[in-house]
Amino acid sequence: MAASLKSTHALSFKILAECSTTKARTGKLKLPHHTVDTPVFMPVGTQGTMKGLTTKQLEDLDCQIILGNTYHLGMRPGHELLEKVGGLHKFMNWDRALLTDSGGFQMVSLLKLAEITEEGVKFQSPHDSKEMLLTPEKSIEIQNSIGADIMMQLDDVVHSTTTGPRVEEAMYRSIRWLDRCISANKRPTEQNLFPIVQGGLQPELRKICATEMVKRDTAGYAIGGLSGGEEKDHFWRMVKLSTDILPRDKPRYLMGVGYAVDLVVCSALGCDMYDCVFPTRTARFGCALLRTGQINIKSKQFAKDYRPIDDTCKCSTCARYTRAYINSIPNYETVGCHLLTIHNIAFQMSLMRSIRASIVEDRFPQFIKSFMKTVYPDEDYPTWVRESLASVDVHLSQQ
């Protein structure tokens, strides 16, 4: 039952259990710096730090792998400095696993002046206005300096709602850029390179892309170009279509997903890894995550609420502080933000632990049903949730 990968990749993926109903699986992803339990949520620490938390706190929270952003790190502190110090692990003193994106997404989303050609992404540096070019080779060079356990290929990013020939062009270009990235990787035995399945919301293009990429026999695969404001109905179909093609014995990383409902559904569709800025970003706006949904702790209604954020939560915030106290901390005092960030990461980690445990015990479908009932107590499940789960034989209405 367990499948182990024998190859030159810098990882091994061992599936420990598979759900007998859905496509979910739980496994151990052995990376150069840490062995990660999947399905896993990876918090985003953009600039070599996790939004005010120390690496000790991240370990205490059971974070096993976190993200760094190549675009930001390449700008500051710069890849020369990271090279000099021996990589981001050393620079930020993080012993566990790291994943870096390619930098392409930020180019296109942050920079108005980005221009994409076959060579790469041309953009103006926001720091000194110099014209710069991010090629697949350059992205990998920077990512090699950062030294993350998993690197992402540079892909040609189009907005998930884009239609027409641009989507096809971007998909084929992403395949060509993947090949350039693979050739450019100077540390293939220390760093894994994941391709990104593109193709927008067009099933045919996704199929071609996934099939082509599988031929490259990389260490794992990412599903990209989703979670950008497209219809959820399209979203889940693209995820399922991709996981149907991607090989069973390799990890599948669904990019940009972090809402609890999405994590549960997509795990049922066979995804293993997720990242999203949402839990940490929403914390900075005063929001705390709960199984029943999120609450804004800064709202007046919590001023005299002397319960912890979540009395079933085991995090250091919930063990010690009340909603009322966090509500009382003025916004400019950073402690309030730290307390919420801790809780929100703990929430994500705990959700993923529950998912994994229920897969091991082969009661994942029951878990899904009770989870969804908590989120939607009136059973007014969104159609996409109902349909996506039905596609893997979990029928919410039959509860």
Contact window for other proteins (CB under 8 A) among 80-88, 180-188, 345-353, 372-380: 80-88
Residue 101 among the catalytic residues: yes
DSSP state of 73: H
Among 342, 349, 392, 394, binds other proteins (CB under 8 A): 342
Tell me which residue of 53, 44, 60, 98 sits closest to 257, measured CA to CA. 44
Closest to other proteins by CB, 341 vs 358, is 341
Closest to other proteins by CB, 56 vs 130, is 56
CA–CA–CA angle 166, 383, 165 (5° rounding): 5
State the catalytic residue, choosing from 37, 101, 149, 378. Answer: 101
Q: Contact between 83 and other proteins (CB under 8 A)?
A: no
Max CA distance (Å), the chain: 60
Contact window for other proteins (CB under 8 A) among 162-170, 175-183, 331-339, 344-352: 331-339
Tell me which residue of 274, 282, 278 sits closest to 99, measured CA to CA. 274
Q: Contact between 320 and other proteins (CB under 8 A)?
A: yes
Does 198 carry a binding-site annotation?
yes
Q: Contact between 343 and other proteins (CB under 8 A)?
A: no
Q: Which of positions 49-68 make contact with other proteins (CB under 8 A)?
A: 49-57, 60
User: Measured between alpha carbons, how far is 349 from 365 in angstroms, rounded to an integer?
Assistant: 20
State the catalytic residue, choosing from 262, 275, 311, 393. Answer: 275
Residue 62 among the catalytic residues: no
Closest to other proteins by CB, 59 vs 119, is 59
Tell me which residue of 266, 169, 156, 153 sits closest to 218, measured CA to CA. 153
Does 155 carry a binding-site annotation?
yes
Q: Which of positions 376-395 make contact with other proteins (CB under 8 A)?
A: none
Closest to other proteins by CB, 57 vs 202, is 57
Q: Which of positions 93-112 make contact with other proteins (CB under 8 A)?
A: 93
Q: Contact between 211 and other proteins (CB under 8 A)?
A: no
Tell me which residue of 138, 140, 178 sits closest to 156, measured CA to CA. 178
User: Measured between alpha carbons, how far is 187 from 190 in angstroms, rounded to an integer?
Assistant: 5
User: Measured between alpha carbons, how far is 36 from 22 in angstroms, rounded to an integer?
Assistant: 22
Q: What number of chain residues touch other proteins (CB under 8 A)? A: 42
Q: Which of positions 276-305 make contact with other proteins (CB under 8 A)?
A: 303-304
Buried b (16+ CB within 10 A) or exposed e, 230-249: bebebbbbbbbbbbebbeee
Q: Per DSSP, what are the bridge partners of residue 68? A: 100
Q: Contact between 139 and other proteins (CB under 8 A)?
A: no
User: Measured between alpha carbons, how far is 273 from 277 in angstroms, rounded to an integer?
Assistant: 14
Does 105 carry a binding-site annotation?
yes
CB of 205 to other proteins, least distance (A): 37
Q: Contact between 322 and other proteins (CB under 8 A)?
A: yes
CA atoms within 13 A on the CB side of 371: 23
Q: Determine if the peptide bond prior to 126 is cis (ω within 30°).
A: no
Does 287 carry a binding-site annotation?
no
Helix (H) or strand (E) holding 152: strand 150-152
Kindly list the residues in this chain that would bind other proteins in the complex (CB under 8 A): 47-57, 60, 72, 76-77, 81, 84-85, 91-93, 303-304, 306, 316-317, 320-322, 324-325, 328-330, 332-335, 337-339, 342
Catalytic (active-site) positions = 101, 275
Residue ranges of the binding site for substrate: 101-105, 155, 198, 225
Annotated binding site for Zn(2+): 313, 315, 318, 343
